[in-house]
Amino acid sequence: MIRLSVNINKIATLRNARGGNYPNVQKVAIDCERFGAQGITVHPRPDERHITRKDVELISPLITTEFNIEGNPTPEFIELLLKHKPDQVTLVPDDPNQLTSDHGWDTIKHKDFLIETIDKFHEAGIRTSIFVDPEIKIVEHAKHTGTDRIELYTESYATDFPKEKEEAIRPFVEAAKLARELGIGLNAGHDLSLENLRYFAQCIPWLMEVSIGHALIADALYFGLENTIQLYLRELRLD
Protein backbone atom coordinates (compact mmCIF):
# COMPACT_ATOMS: atom_id res chain seq x y z
CA MET A 1 0.00 0.00 0.00
CA ILE A 2 1.14 3.54 -0.75
CA ARG A 3 1.93 5.31 2.50
CA LEU A 4 0.19 8.54 3.51
CA SER A 5 2.33 11.16 5.23
CA VAL A 6 0.27 14.06 6.57
CA ASN A 7 1.87 17.49 6.28
CA ILE A 8 0.82 19.45 9.39
CA ASN A 9 2.18 22.86 8.36
CA LYS A 10 -1.32 24.30 8.05
CA ILE A 11 -2.08 23.36 11.65
CA ALA A 12 0.89 25.47 12.69
CA THR A 13 -0.29 28.30 10.42
CA LEU A 14 -3.64 28.33 12.23
CA ARG A 15 -1.95 28.30 15.62
CA ASN A 16 0.44 31.10 14.68
CA ALA A 17 -2.44 33.31 13.54
CA ARG A 18 -3.44 33.83 17.17
CA GLY A 19 -0.28 32.94 19.08
CA GLY A 20 -0.33 30.54 21.99
CA ASN A 21 -0.53 26.82 21.41
CA TYR A 22 -4.00 26.17 20.02
CA PRO A 23 -4.38 24.06 18.03
CA ASN A 24 -1.61 22.03 19.63
CA VAL A 25 0.69 20.90 16.82
CA GLN A 26 2.23 18.05 18.79
CA LYS A 27 -1.19 16.62 19.65
CA VAL A 28 -2.28 16.84 16.03
CA ALA A 29 0.83 14.93 14.96
CA ILE A 30 0.08 12.19 17.49
CA ASP A 31 -3.59 12.09 16.51
CA CYS A 32 -2.84 11.88 12.78
CA GLU A 33 -0.85 8.73 13.47
CA ARG A 34 -3.59 7.40 15.74
CA PHE A 35 -6.13 8.03 12.96
CA GLY A 36 -4.10 5.96 10.48
CA ALA A 37 -1.47 8.22 8.89
CA GLN A 38 1.74 6.31 8.20
CA GLY A 39 3.94 9.37 8.53
CA ILE A 40 4.13 13.02 9.53
CA THR A 41 5.68 15.70 7.34
CA VAL A 42 6.78 19.20 8.33
CA HIS A 43 8.41 21.92 6.26
CA PRO A 44 10.10 24.50 8.47
CA ARG A 45 10.98 27.72 6.64
CA PRO A 46 13.49 30.37 7.71
CA ASP A 47 10.77 32.88 8.70
CA GLU A 48 8.97 30.19 10.77
CA ARG A 49 5.63 31.30 9.37
CA HIS A 50 4.17 27.89 10.19
CA ILE A 51 6.35 25.06 11.55
CA THR A 52 9.11 26.38 13.80
CA ARG A 53 12.44 24.92 14.85
CA LYS A 54 10.92 24.43 18.30
CA ASP A 55 8.08 22.43 16.74
CA VAL A 56 10.61 20.10 15.14
CA GLU A 57 12.30 19.62 18.51
CA LEU A 58 9.00 18.83 20.24
CA ILE A 59 7.50 16.64 17.52
CA SER A 60 10.55 14.55 16.72
CA PRO A 61 10.47 12.24 19.78
CA LEU A 62 6.69 11.77 19.49
CA ILE A 63 6.57 10.21 16.03
CA THR A 64 6.22 6.44 16.00
CA THR A 65 5.64 5.94 12.25
CA GLU A 66 7.87 8.03 9.97
CA PHE A 67 9.05 11.61 10.41
CA ASN A 68 9.76 13.46 7.16
CA ILE A 69 11.24 16.95 7.23
CA GLU A 70 11.17 18.99 4.03
CA GLY A 71 13.14 22.09 3.26
CA ASN A 72 15.87 23.97 1.48
CA PRO A 73 19.22 22.60 2.67
CA THR A 74 20.66 25.80 4.07
CA PRO A 75 23.35 25.42 6.76
CA GLU A 76 20.68 26.08 9.42
CA PHE A 77 18.36 23.44 7.95
CA ILE A 78 21.13 20.87 7.75
CA GLU A 79 22.08 21.58 11.36
CA LEU A 80 18.45 21.10 12.43
CA LEU A 81 18.19 17.79 10.58
CA LEU A 82 21.44 16.37 11.88
CA LYS A 83 20.37 17.24 15.41
CA HIS A 84 16.97 15.56 15.27
CA LYS A 85 17.63 12.85 12.66
CA PRO A 86 14.22 12.23 11.10
CA ASP A 87 13.53 9.07 9.15
CA GLN A 88 13.55 11.00 5.89
CA VAL A 89 14.64 14.39 4.63
CA THR A 90 13.07 15.81 1.47
CA LEU A 91 15.26 18.47 -0.13
CA VAL A 92 13.27 21.29 -1.73
CA PRO A 93 14.84 24.25 -3.59
CA ASP A 94 12.74 26.91 -1.86
CA ASP A 95 13.38 30.60 -2.11
CA PRO A 96 12.71 32.25 1.29
CA ASN A 97 10.07 34.51 -0.31
CA GLN A 98 8.05 31.71 -1.94
CA LEU A 99 4.50 31.32 -0.72
CA THR A 100 4.81 27.58 -1.29
CA SER A 101 7.08 25.20 -3.18
CA ASP A 102 6.77 25.81 -6.92
CA HIS A 103 9.57 23.90 -8.67
CA GLY A 104 11.92 20.99 -8.28
CA TRP A 105 15.70 20.68 -8.37
CA ASP A 106 17.76 21.04 -11.51
CA THR A 107 19.72 17.86 -10.85
CA ILE A 108 22.20 18.71 -13.60
CA LYS A 109 23.06 22.24 -12.49
CA HIS A 110 23.04 21.42 -8.77
CA LYS A 111 24.47 17.90 -8.95
CA ASP A 112 27.63 18.58 -6.95
CA PHE A 113 25.75 20.45 -4.24
CA LEU A 114 23.19 17.68 -3.96
CA ILE A 115 25.86 14.98 -3.78
CA GLU A 116 27.64 16.81 -0.98
CA THR A 117 24.42 17.45 0.94
CA ILE A 118 23.00 13.97 0.52
CA ASP A 119 26.29 12.46 1.70
CA LYS A 120 25.94 14.37 4.98
CA PHE A 121 22.50 12.94 5.60
CA HIS A 122 23.54 9.43 4.62
CA GLU A 123 26.43 9.59 7.08
CA ALA A 124 23.81 10.35 9.76
CA GLY A 125 21.62 7.43 8.66
CA ILE A 126 18.85 9.62 7.22
CA ARG A 127 17.04 8.52 4.06
CA THR A 128 16.99 11.25 1.41
CA SER A 129 14.46 12.32 -1.17
CA ILE A 130 14.75 15.24 -3.58
CA PHE A 131 11.86 17.26 -4.98
CA VAL A 132 11.84 17.14 -8.80
CA ASP A 133 9.69 18.04 -11.76
CA PRO A 134 8.53 15.11 -13.94
CA GLU A 135 11.25 15.53 -16.56
CA ILE A 136 13.25 12.60 -17.92
CA LYS A 137 16.65 14.32 -17.84
CA ILE A 138 16.05 15.57 -14.30
CA VAL A 139 15.13 12.08 -13.07
CA GLU A 140 18.03 10.52 -14.96
CA HIS A 141 20.54 12.85 -13.32
CA ALA A 142 18.92 12.43 -9.91
CA LYS A 143 20.50 8.98 -9.94
CA HIS A 144 23.95 10.59 -9.96
CA THR A 145 23.25 12.53 -6.76
CA GLY A 146 23.00 9.37 -4.68
CA THR A 147 19.49 10.16 -3.46
CA ASP A 148 17.41 7.27 -2.15
CA ARG A 149 14.16 8.64 -3.53
CA ILE A 150 12.68 11.44 -5.57
CA GLU A 151 9.44 13.23 -4.81
CA LEU A 152 7.53 14.15 -7.95
CA TYR A 153 6.18 17.71 -7.80
CA THR A 154 2.53 17.18 -8.73
CA GLU A 155 1.09 20.69 -9.07
CA SER A 156 0.84 20.49 -12.87
CA TYR A 157 -0.96 17.16 -12.58
CA ALA A 158 -3.48 18.61 -10.13
CA THR A 159 -4.02 21.69 -12.30
CA ASP A 160 -4.55 19.76 -15.54
CA PHE A 161 -6.44 16.77 -14.08
CA PRO A 162 -9.96 18.28 -14.43
CA LYS A 163 -9.32 19.11 -18.09
CA GLU A 164 -7.59 15.98 -19.42
CA LYS A 165 -6.44 13.48 -16.84
CA GLU A 166 -4.67 11.16 -19.30
CA GLU A 167 -2.45 13.98 -20.53
CA ALA A 168 -1.99 15.30 -17.00
CA ILE A 169 -0.61 11.99 -15.73
CA ARG A 170 1.51 11.09 -18.77
CA PRO A 171 4.81 12.86 -17.84
CA PHE A 172 4.53 11.54 -14.29
CA VAL A 173 4.15 7.94 -15.46
CA GLU A 174 7.16 8.33 -17.74
CA ALA A 175 9.26 9.85 -14.98
CA ALA A 176 8.10 7.21 -12.50
CA LYS A 177 8.97 4.35 -14.87
CA LEU A 178 12.47 5.72 -15.34
CA ALA A 179 12.94 6.13 -11.58
CA ARG A 180 11.95 2.48 -11.10
CA GLU A 181 14.38 1.37 -13.82
CA LEU A 182 17.15 3.35 -12.13
CA GLY A 183 16.39 1.88 -8.72
CA ILE A 184 15.24 5.17 -7.20
CA GLY A 185 12.36 5.11 -4.72
CA LEU A 186 9.35 7.23 -5.57
CA ASN A 187 7.32 9.72 -3.52
CA ALA A 188 4.91 12.40 -4.71
CA GLY A 189 3.30 15.52 -3.38
CA HIS A 190 1.79 18.97 -3.87
CA ASP A 191 -1.90 19.65 -4.50
CA LEU A 192 -2.89 16.01 -4.39
CA SER A 193 -6.48 15.74 -3.16
CA LEU A 194 -9.48 13.46 -2.83
CA GLU A 195 -10.38 14.47 -6.38
CA ASN A 196 -7.17 13.38 -8.10
CA LEU A 197 -5.32 11.03 -5.73
CA ARG A 198 -6.83 7.67 -6.71
CA TYR A 199 -6.13 8.09 -10.42
CA PHE A 200 -2.54 9.08 -9.70
CA ALA A 201 -2.06 6.02 -7.49
CA GLN A 202 -3.70 3.69 -10.01
CA CYS A 203 -1.42 4.89 -12.80
CA ILE A 204 1.72 4.63 -10.65
CA PRO A 205 1.03 1.69 -8.32
CA TRP A 206 4.71 1.32 -7.30
CA LEU A 207 4.58 4.76 -5.69
CA MET A 208 5.89 4.49 -2.12
CA GLU A 209 4.55 7.57 -0.36
CA VAL A 210 2.47 10.69 -0.84
CA SER A 211 2.81 13.78 1.33
CA ILE A 212 -0.43 15.74 1.59
CA GLY A 213 -1.14 18.80 3.66
CA HIS A 214 -3.21 21.70 2.36
CA ALA A 215 -6.06 19.73 0.76
CA LEU A 216 -6.25 17.24 3.59
CA ILE A 217 -6.42 19.89 6.31
CA ALA A 218 -8.99 21.87 4.28
CA ASP A 219 -11.12 18.73 3.87
CA ALA A 220 -10.87 18.11 7.61
CA LEU A 221 -12.78 21.35 8.23
CA TYR A 222 -15.81 19.63 6.72
CA PHE A 223 -15.26 15.94 7.40
CA GLY A 224 -13.23 15.95 10.62
CA LEU A 225 -9.57 14.99 10.84
CA GLU A 226 -9.98 11.30 11.62
CA ASN A 227 -12.57 10.74 8.91
CA THR A 228 -10.54 12.74 6.37
CA ILE A 229 -7.41 10.67 6.95
CA GLN A 230 -9.47 7.52 6.44
CA LEU A 231 -10.89 8.96 3.21
CA TYR A 232 -7.38 9.61 1.87
CA LEU A 233 -6.19 6.16 2.90
CA ARG A 234 -9.16 4.68 1.07
CA GLU A 235 -8.11 6.45 -2.14
CA LEU A 236 -4.67 4.82 -1.84
CA ARG A 237 -5.99 1.28 -1.45
CA LEU A 238 -5.68 -0.29 -4.89
CA ASP A 239 -6.82 -3.83 -4.08
- Domains of the chain plus CATH, in order, are 3-236 (3.20.20.70)
Report helix, strand or coil for 101: coil
In this predicted structure, the answer to whether residue 4 has a pLDDT above a threshold of 80 is yes
In this predicted structure, the answer to whether residue 85 has a pLDDT above a threshold of 60 is yes
List, for residues 10-38, the tens digit of each pLDDT value. Answer: 999 999 999 999 999 999 999 999 999 99
Continuous segment of H or E residues that includes residue 88: strand 88-91
Dist. CA 230–CA 206, nearest whole Å: 21
List, for residues 119-151, the tens digit of each pLDDT value. Answer: 999 999 999 999 999 999 999 999 999 999 999
Dist. CA 8–CA 10, nearest whole Å: 5
Dist. CA 139–CA 179, nearest whole Å: 7
Phi (first) and psi of residue 151, to 5 degrees: -115, 115
Residues marked active site are found at 43, 70, 190
Note the pLDDT of residue 1: 86
Note the pLDDT of residue 82: 97
Best CA proximity match to 103, nearest among 115, 94, 112, 113 = 94
- The DSSP call for residue 29 is H
Q: Where are the beta strands (DSSP E) in 166-236?
A: 185-189, 209-212
List, for residues 221-239, the tens digit of each pLDDT value. Answer: 999 999 999 999 999 998 7
Mean pLDDT, rounded, of the chain: 95
In this predicted structure, the answer to whether residue 187 has a pLDDT above a threshold of 80 is yes
Dist. CA 167–CA 221, nearest whole Å: 31
